[in-house]
Amino acid sequence: MTIPTDTLRAHVQVLAGEIGERNTFRPQALRRAAAYIEQAWRDQGYAVTRQEYAMGRDTWANLEITRRGREHPDDIILIGAHYDSVIGSPGANDNATGIAALLELSRLSAVRGLGKTVRFVAFVNEEPPHFQTALMGSRVYARQARAHGDRIRAMLSLETLGYYSEAPGSQAFPFPSALYRLFYPDRGNFVLFVSNFGSRPFLRQAVESFRQVTPFPAESIATFEWVPGVDWSDHGSFWVEGYPALMVTDTALYRYPQYHTEQDTPEKVNYDALARVVDGLTGMLWALSR
């Protein structure tokens, strides 16, 4: 399977190049980003559900589409990415790359039979000041999913997926960094799967499935949720509700020099590497959804 780099590049260019910074402080841009995602999904043949919630006098929406499973329709695999960007940044890598990957995965799933139900969700308001608050889009979503009794068997957060480097020393680590250097490469040329201890069985299955379909370097870690960066995306919202969840990432601030800056622009993204990662995620999704 070959994922077209032009499609990924086009999504990132619209979100980060044309729309640019998109958050509740630039509401028109945030709504333009939502409209772009909705239209892309309609073009793929999906009906889009808007999960709207109020915040002050405004209303914001998580966006959802569903590919219903044939054998196990009540068992849900959820793949999500946030479509907002941090204040002051156009958010090409963080997180237009995650949305681009999400849109490609949904496009390929539209024509494939799946055993389990797969939901694709674009989350709003992941970045500060809503980050890890009750108004974070994924917190709203996960809380309602638990209240509805949704059987989410696995959640994957696609977070900052487009920066890779072969330079020695290009990969940094959280404290205690010397410990992590014993087990992980010092070159930032790999994609990382991150989970808490409770999601470790899901982590093993996901990484094994990814490696079976692509030689792209992949590492994994199951660790404490208090390690800096481990819960810094939408998967953390699902941990709060007791769902197994993990993050797929290029490690963001531990590798990407332009993280959360105005320099996080579309030309910084390695689209060839991103396409290879999405290729692996596609094969992984087919395995998980059997």
pLDDT of residue 112: 87
pLDDT, mean of residues 93-109:
97
β-strand pairing of 245-249 with 191-196: antiparallel
pLDDT beyond 70 at 65: yes
For the residues 92-100, what does the mean pLDDT come to?
A: 98
Look at the chain and report how many structural domains it folds into: 1
Cα separation of 242 and 175, whole Å?
26
Q: If pLDDT is split at 50, 70 and 90, which confidence band does 1 have?
A: low
Structure tokens at 83: 């479509």
What pLDDT score does 111 carry?
85
Of 102-106, 155-159, 221-225, 270-274, the one with minimum mean pLDDT is 221-225
Q: Angle 192-198-200 (CA atoms, 0-180°, nearest 5)?
A: 40
> What's the CA gap between 235 and 229, in Å, rounded?
12
Confidence of residue 249 (pLDDT cuts 50, 70, 90): very high
Q: What pTM, to 2 d.p., does this model score?
A: 0.96
Contact criterion met (CB below 8 Å) for 119 and 289 = no
Average of per-residue pLDDT values in the chain = 95
Instruction: Identify which of 223, 232, 231 has the alpha carbon closest to the alpha carbon of residue 184.
Output: 223
* 30-51 exposure pattern, b = at least 16 Cβ within 10 A, e = fewer: bbbbbebbbebbeebebebeeb
- In tens, the pLDDT along 147-175 reads 999 999 999 999 999 999 999 999 999 88
Q: What is the pLDDT of residue 231?
A: 85
Distance, in Å, from the CA atom of 236 to the CA atom of 250, rounded to the nearest integer, reads 17
Closest C-alpha among 110, 134, 126 to residue 33: 126
pLDDT digits (tens, 9 = 90+) for 169-185: 999 998 878 888 888 99
Residues 216 and 47: their CA atoms lie apart, in Å, by 33
Task: Report the CATH number that the domain containing residue 18 is assigned in CATH.
Answer: 3.40.630.10
The confidence score (pLDDT) of residue 152 equals 98
For 108-152, write each residue's pLDDT tens digit: 999 888 999 999 999 999 999 999 999 999 999 999 999 999 999
* Three-state secondary structure call for residue 225: coil
Predicted local distance difference test score (pLDDT) of residue 113 = 86
**Domain that includes residue 186, residue range:** 5-288
